[in-house]
Amino acid sequence: MHRTYSLRNSRAPTAAQLASPPPPTSSTKSGRFFGNGSIVHSFRRSAAGSMGPDLARKLAQLVKMEKNVMRSIEQQARERREVAKQLSLWGEDADEDVSDVTDKLGVLIYEIGELEDQFIDKYDQYRITLKSVRNIEASVQPSRDRKQKITDQIAHLKYKEPNSPKIIVLEQELVRAEAESLVAEAQLSNITREKVKAAFNYQFDAIREHSEKLALIAGYGKALLELLDDTPVTPGESRPAYDGYEASKQVIIDAENALASWTLDQASVKPTLSIRRADVDDYDDEEEEGAEWAEDEPSAVVEEGKVLDA
């Protein structure tokens, strides 16, 4: 957040932004020619699914769809900042309390637009990581195609010329092609798991940070609303003089500090999982079986030196 406390003044970068530079700007923010229309989004998605190696087409389409999502968020962030400016502009000529509170609310809403911009840059790390899987898939496709081609040639020769000496040569080539394919498939399997895990960690960390910071802003926004005296007045009655300038400024300062100091370790929302480990379940099952066995066995009662079956 910017230490100006008003949208009616120039905005300067915070110390946190200077100390911790943001991630690289998203690729969706540069080189744009056609804009954000739904027709363009549909074209990108369909084009991605119809070109390139068969193995990589589905993931290529997903990557393009995610780019459309990011462009939509970019548009939303831009409009959010415009809304914040307009809110401040609208309240400028109102009563002192409304003027001050709407200006400070504009600061918070503008910050939401800034957070959405930052979210795009961090979300793009997820998309770029998925693209690396797409590239690996595309590189594996030729080995699959070569193996399939040799297999088809062998089948064709066995049908047309069962005694052709080419069959032995092709079978040897097939063995080599299968070995190459095994190596490529193993690499694809390993890299896919590694990159999917890393990609969605980027995405969920970005979502978590964005959501919790939005919740912080919402809380400080409601604190600003408390400075508005909404007690009804009768015609001709004047409201008490507004003295909330310092309080509203302090709310913005507190919001700035809270956002600047937030880290993933301080996340307040924690998932509650109902999944239990298998070894714990097995242990519980053994205890239940032991209890059932004890119930089936006859118990003995000792009474004055005699053993009686219960």
pLDDT digit string (tens) for 107-116? 999 999 999 9
Global confidence as pTM: 0.67
Tokens 């790390």 locate to 125
At residue 183, does pLDDT exceed 90? no
pLDDT of residue 40: 54
At residue 283, does pLDDT exceed 60? no
Q: How far apart are CA 215 and CA 249, in angstroms?
A: 19
Higher pLDDT, 307 or 225: 225
Domain ranges of the chain: 15-229+244-309
- Tell me what the pLDDT averaged over the chain comes to: 78
Q: How far apart are CA 265 and CA 100, in angstroms?
A: 35
Q: What percent of the chain has pLDDT over 70?
A: 71
Higher pLDDT, 1 or 113: 113
* DSSP β-bridge partners for residue 306: 303
Residue 76: strand, helix, or coil: helix
Over residues 38-50, the mean pLDDT reads 50
Buried b (16+ CB within 10 A) or exposed e, 93-114: eeeebebbbbbbbbbbbbbbbb
Tokens 């793009």 locate to 124
At residue 90, does pLDDT exceed 60? yes
Q: How far apart are CA 121 and CA 124, in angstroms?
A: 5
pLDDT band with cut points at 50, 70 and 90 for residue 237: confident
Dihedral, 218, 36, 90, 5 alpha carbons, nearest 10: 50
Q: How far is CA 60 from the centre of its chain?
A: 18
* DSSP β-bridge partners for residue 300: 309
List the Cα angle 181/200/144 in 5-degree steps. Answer: 15
Task: Name the residue among 220, 226, 45, 206 with its Cα closest to residue 116.
Answer: 206
CATH annotation of 15-229+244-309 = 1.20.1270.60
The set of residues, in sequence order, having a beta carbon less than 8 Å from that of 245 and lying 6+ positions away, is: 100
pLDDT band with cut points at 50, 70 and 90 for residue 187: confident
Over residues 135-146, the mean pLDDT reads 77
Cβ-contact 192, 136 below 8 angstroms: yes
At residue 126, does pLDDT exceed 80? yes
pLDDT band with cut points at 50, 70 and 90 for residue 281: low
Q: How far apart are CA 100 and CA 106, in angstroms?
A: 10
pLDDT of residue 111: 95
Phi and psi at residue 309, to the nearest 5°: -75, 130
Over residues 77-83, the mean pLDDT reads 95
* DSSP β-bridge partners for residue 302: 307
pLDDT of residue 227: 92
The set of residues, in sequence order, having a beta carbon less than 8 Å from that of 121 and lying 6+ positions away, is: 22, 23, 24, 25, 26
pLDDT of residue 303: 43
